[in-house]
């Protein structure tokens, strides 16, 4: 995909003939950064991919950054889903929360990215964000925590 993006960027730049050498260099640089980010994910180095995404934030082309953020979110979900039912939620939830943050950033850049929107919905259904409830007067933290289940889909108490 990164090679296709790089090829498309170069063909567009060369095909229309209206781009300067600096714009051609910039398009090639962005395509290379995207390719490096995906290579880092393939080598199980999401931190390096995140650094590249952060570096891409200084460029004007946010679309390529949105693609890389979406890829990082997918990487984190691929790490979380195989262990979702076999490991404690405290091990799985951080991976899914990072994926949700990456999908949200990608959607801020490209709100029309329906794949990111769908994946965000799936991630939110797996681990929901629970706001800290306002404690009732006279209640203890243990009583308040007992009303909120730790794992999604696990009922707590009687109906």
Domains detected in the chain: 2-128 (1.25.40)
Spatial separation of the C-alpha atoms in residues 103 and 148, rounded to whole Å = 26
- Which residues have a Cβ under 8 Å from the Cβ of 52 and sit 6 or more positions away? 33, 36, 37, 40, 68
Residue 26: both structure tokens together: 């910039």
- pLDDT computed for residue 24 by the predictor: 79
Rounded alpha-carbon distances, angstroms, from residue 4 to 8, 67, 115: 6, 13, 19
Spatial separation of the C-alpha atoms in residues 70 and 60, rounded to whole Å = 18
For residue 103, give the 3-state DSSP assignment.
helix
Averaged pLDDT, groups of 10, the chain, 159 residues long: 49 50 78 92 95 83 90 96 91 94 95 95 85 57 50 54
- pLDDT computed for residue 135 by the predictor: 56
pTM of the entire predicted model: 0.70
Residue 101: both structure tokens together: 């943050």
């Amino acid at each position: 995909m990164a090679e296709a993006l790089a090829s498309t960027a170069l063909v567009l730049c060369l095909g229309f003939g209206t781009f300067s050498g600096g714009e051609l260099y910039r398009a090639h640089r962005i395509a290379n950064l995207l390719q490096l980010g995906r290579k880092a994910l393939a080598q199980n180095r999401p931190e390096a991919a995140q650094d590249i995404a952060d570096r891409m934030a200084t460029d004007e082309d946010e679309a390529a950054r949105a693609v890389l953020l979406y890829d990082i979110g997918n990487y984190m979900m691929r790490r979380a889903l195989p262990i979702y039912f076999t490991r404690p939620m405290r091990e799985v939830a951080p991976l899914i929360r990072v994926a949700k943050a990456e999908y949200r950033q990608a959607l801020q850049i490209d709100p029309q990215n329906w794949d990111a929107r769908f994946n965000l919905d799936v991630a939110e259904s797996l681990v929901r964000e629970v706001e800290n409830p306002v404690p009732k007067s006279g209640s203890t933290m243990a009583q308040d925590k007992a009303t909120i289940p730790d794992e999604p889909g696990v009922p707590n108490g009687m109906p």
